[in-house]
């Protein structure tokens, strides 16, 4: 699985750096080509000579080679890598990665990396538990970095608790799992709706909702990272796609989303409807701005928008259809009713009663309910992790 894969192994300055030599050896034995990038502090814990001998390549640490003045290109390295693994990642390196503080080769390479980045933190238990570290780790997760959680046990300080870098064998298992997932949806076409729709009242006002598009975009990134051919039909949101392979269609209203989605999903294998589509739109849109002085009070007549999920559900034609249900009460009952009414294969229930779920949040807490009655409840996680759980759950219907 790792044969011929290009891996950048980033090593920062912690006592766990001694384990990186073993991690490097395991990767080389599995056929990976590994380029080590070490921080200046990393070299205090393990010598570049050891790492160069094990990898068969000179170790990169400085921006310029001291003897020749040759420039080490972090951009080339970032493009070369199929995966970058930072192990050990100290609290300082995690903080710099989370905040883009590019003062050494490891961080500049991270900022240039086009493919997946994985981080195996290593530090003392109090440093790991500190709100600042946890904030930085959450930022990395949000940025799509895979975190290989540290283990618990005896630490270099003599204390015992969570903070030990995960064992090299387990980091290799996480790397293999990443590469095996990356291929699983190759050749599958997935269409995802994301964000709100805006229904114009006049040229300056609209009816909308609080959806940020984060859930739909997290799904798009996760599907793309598994090799799927992804089209995201996005309402008005300020998000960017990280993965350059994602095809994006921007729309504003429910009617535009309906047209774009039905056309894009004609030959899709799977359609995921994460958008919060306005159910109603003003029957008449004023051509010019409605003036306050001219209207004492106002009634806007609303007409029903087309239901994208139900339209695709009525002619499913082998496509796997996944809807969302955002509920405030009678959650399961309402979600199951939508699942049946719209002829969905799966519905993802999130409740606004849960403070970690719903609009704009970076986290969500969902239950995934299948058409045959199965239900899996997940704890609150980042939206990217929720996307991963959703895809893992529906995978048997997809492959």
Residue 306 near residue 258, CB atoms below 8 Å: yes
Both tokens assigned to 145: 């970095």
Q: What is the radius of gyration, based on Cα positions, of the chain?
A: 24
Q: CA–CA distance from 199 to each of 196, 238, 291, 303 (Å)?
A: 10, 18, 19, 11
DSSP codes joined into one string, 118-131: EEEE---HHHHHSH
Least distance from ligand PMT to the Cβ atom of residue 370, Å: 15
Least distance from ligand PMT to the Cβ atom of residue 151, Å: 32
Indicate the residue among 277 and 391 with the shorter CB distance to ligand PMT. Answer: 277
Residues of this chain that interact with ligand PMT (CB under 6 A) are 193, 195, 211-215, 254, 273-277, 279, 305, 307-309, 323-326, 338, 350, 358-360
Least distance from ligand PMT to the Cβ atom of residue 323, Å: 3
Least distance from ligand PMT to the Cβ atom of residue 238, Å: 11
Indicate the residue among 31 and 306 with the shorter CB distance to ligand PMT. Answer: 306
Indicate the residue among 228 and 254 with the shorter CB distance to ligand PMT. Answer: 254
Active site residues: 209
CA 107/CA 97 separation, integer angstroms: 6
CA 35/CA 125 separation, integer angstroms: 30
Cα angle at 173 between 167 and 177, to 5 degrees?
150
Indicate the residue among 168 and 235 with the shorter CB distance to ligand PMT. Answer: 235
Least distance from ligand PMT to the Cβ atom of residue 311, Å: 8
Indicate the residue among 52 and 311 with the shorter CB distance to ligand PMT. Answer: 311
Please classify residue 224 by burial: count the beta carbons closer than 10 Å to its beta carbon, then call 0-12 exposed, 13-18 middle and 19+ buried.
buried
Helices and strands per DSSP (H, E), number in the chain: 13, 21
């Amino acid at each position: 699985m790792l044969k011929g894969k290009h891996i950048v192994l980033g090593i920062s300055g912690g006592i766990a750096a001694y384990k990186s030599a073993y991690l490097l050896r395991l990767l080389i034995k599995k056929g990976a080509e590994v380029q080590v990038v070490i921080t200046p502090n990393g070299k205090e814990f393990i010598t570049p000579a050891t790492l160069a001998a094990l990898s068969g390549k000179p170790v990169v640490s400085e921006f310029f080679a001291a003897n020749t003045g040759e420039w080490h290109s972090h951009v080339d390295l970032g493009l070369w890598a199929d995966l970058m693994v930072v192990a050990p990642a100290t609290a300082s390196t995690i903080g710099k990665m989370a905040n883009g503080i590019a003062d050494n080769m490891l961080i500049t390479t991270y900022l240039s990396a086009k493919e997946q980045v994985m981080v195996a933190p290593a530090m003392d238990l109090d440093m790991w538990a500190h709100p600042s570290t946890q904030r930085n780790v959450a930022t990395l997760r949000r940025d799509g970095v895979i975190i290989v959680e540290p283990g618990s046990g005896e630490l270099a300080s003599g204390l015992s608790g969570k903070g030990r870098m995960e064992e090299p064998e387990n980091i290799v298992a996480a790397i293999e799992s990443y590469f095996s997932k990356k291929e699983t949806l190759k050749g599958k076409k997935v269409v995802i709706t994301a964000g709100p729709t805006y229904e114009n009242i006049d040229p300056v006002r609209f009816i909308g909702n609080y959806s940020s598009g984060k859930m739909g975009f997290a799904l798009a990134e996760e599907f793309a990272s598994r090799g799927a051919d992804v089209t995201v039909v996005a309402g008005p949101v300020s998000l960017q796609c990280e993965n350059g392979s994602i095809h994006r269609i921007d729309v504003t209203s429910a009617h535009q989303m309906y047209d774009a989605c039905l056309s894009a999903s004609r030959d899709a294998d799977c359609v995921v409807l994460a958008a919060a589509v306005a159910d109603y739109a003003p029957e008449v849109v004023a051509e010019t701005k409605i003036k306050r002085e001219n209207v004492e009070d106002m009634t806007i007549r609303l007409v029903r928008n087309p239901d994208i999920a139900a339209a695709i559900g009525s002619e499913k034609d082998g496509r796997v259809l996944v809807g969302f249900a955002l509920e405030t009460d009678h959650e399961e009952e309402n979600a199951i009713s939508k699942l049946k009414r719209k002829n969905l294969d799966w519905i993802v229930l999130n409740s606004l009663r849960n403070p970690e779920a719903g609009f704009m949040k970076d986290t969500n807490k969902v239950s995934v309910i299948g058409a045959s009655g199965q239900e899996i409840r997940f704890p609150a996680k980042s939206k990217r992790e929720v996307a991963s759980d959703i895809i893992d759950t529906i995978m048997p219907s997809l492959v």
